[in-house]
């Protein structure tokens, strides 16, 4: 290392790489033809997200179904229902620009 520094000098880094996982993402929330862009925390659970969405969609948390749409995978797999309330959002691999669709539960 010291020989290289002596010969070429101290070089600037080629790239700055941040390998920390994202903690927040910006998603589109779709409900009854309306779209709202929201920042959500990935360390919360599906139940926490439902509580956060109550004010946006005007539905009680126990009366909504959530569907996650990954923009890259939707054609291959379609929407994924966010069924388990204790599942952490980061486990869905949600990224900026993805969508969450909210539908009222039907009896």
What are the tens digits of pLDDT across the range 65-95? 999 999 888 778 889 999 999 999 999 999 9
CATH number of domain containing 66: 3.10.20.90
What are the tens digits of pLDDT across the range 9-26? 988 888 888 888 889 999
The number of domains in the chain is 1
Q: Is residue 48 a part of any domain in this protein?
A: yes
Kindly indicate the confidence band of residue 107, based on its pLDDT and cuts at 50, 70 and 90: low
Range of the domain at 51: 16-104
Average pLDDT over residues 50-74: 92
Q: Is residue 34 a part of any domain in this protein?
A: yes
**Residue 78, SS3 per DSSP:** coil
Q: Is residue 26 a part of any domain in this protein?
A: yes
Q: Is residue 22 a part of any domain in this protein?
A: yes
Residue 80: what are its φ and ψ, rounded to 5°?
Answer: -115, 125
Average pLDDT over residues 32-50: 96
Q: Is residue 65 a part of any domain in this protein?
A: yes
Closest CA to 68 of 22, 35, 99: 99
């Amino acid at each position: 290392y010291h020989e290289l520094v002596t010969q070429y000098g101290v070089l600037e880094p080629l790239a700055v790489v941040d390998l920390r996982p994202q903690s927040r993402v910006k998603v589109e929330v779709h409900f009854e033809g309306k779209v709202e862009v929201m920042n959500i925390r990935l360390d919360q659970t599906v139940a926490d997200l439902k509580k956060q969405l109550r004010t946006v969609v005007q539905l009680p948390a126990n009366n909504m179904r959530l569907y996650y749409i990954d923009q890259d995978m939707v054609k291959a797999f379609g929407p994924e229902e966010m069924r388990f309330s204790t599942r952490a959002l980061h486990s869905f691999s949600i990224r900026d620009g993805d969508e969450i669709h909210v539908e009222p539960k039907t009896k």
